[in-house]
Amino acid sequence: MLAVLQRVREARVTIEDRIAGEIGSGMLILLGIEEADDETDVEWLGGKLVKLRIFSDQAGLMNLSLRDVGGSALIVSQFTLHASTKKGNRPSFIRAARPEKAIPLYEMFIEKMKVLLGEAHVATGAFGADMQVSLVNDGPVTIPIDSRNRQ
């Protein structure tokens, strides 16, 4: 499971000119699910993201987590995170999980985040939809995390 997280002041997902999800201060999570992923990836990644200390404390140091600051998470499915550009000029998405595998894991990840942060602090896009994502990146802070490489 790949996540690209961005610390944001605000973020929004629009689908067909309708706001599907939006948050104020918190974390935009672009989530890519691959065929090898399972429930253990959901558990590990969810726990890692809510405890990751990327928010500034009184001294301006990144010492606070999403949970510490009472921030929200906007979760957006993004299979293109698994793009391979090794061969040719057209990306291959062969590593990305098919919808029948990805949708249950995506939904499980959303539920895990709701448990960890509280339902009011989690917003989403829609799996497989054509989405427009807008955000104000705070910092900027952008961090990729791979549940296959748990460092």
What pLDDT, on the 0 to 100 scale, is given for residue 149? 86
Phi, psi dihedrals of residue 66, rounded to the nearest 5°:
-60, -40
pLDDT, position 66: 97
Query: Known catalytic residue: 80?
Result: yes
Residues of the chain with pLDDT under 70: 151
Give the length of the chain: 151
151 is catalytic: no
Mean pLDDT of the chain: 95
Per-residue confidence (pLDDT) for residue 151, from 0 to 100: 66
132 is catalytic: no
Calculate Rg over the CA atoms of the chain.
Answer: 15
Residue-wise pLDDT for 56-75, tens only, equals: 999 999 999 999 999 999 99
- From the candidates 80, 93, 124, 151, which is the catalytic residue? 80
pLDDT at 70: 95
For residues 64 and 129, give the distance between their C-alpha atoms in angstroms, rounded to a whole number. 33
Question: HEC profile for the chain?
Answer: CEEEEEEEEEEEEEECCEEEEEECCEEEEEEECECCCCHHHHHHHHHHHHHCCCEECCCCCEEECHHHHCCEEEEEECHHHHCECCCCCCCECCCECCHHHHHHHHHHHHHHHHHHHCHHHEEECCCCCCCEEEEEEEEEEEEEEECCCCC
Cα 131 from Cα 62, distance rounded (Å): 31
Which residue of the set 6, 79, 109, 124 is catalytic? 79
What's the pLDDT score for residue 82?
86
Closest Cα partner for 82 from 37, 44, 124, 34? 34
Catalytic annotation, pick one of 78, 85, 127, 132: 78
- Interatomic CA distance for residues 43 and 90, integer angstroms: 33
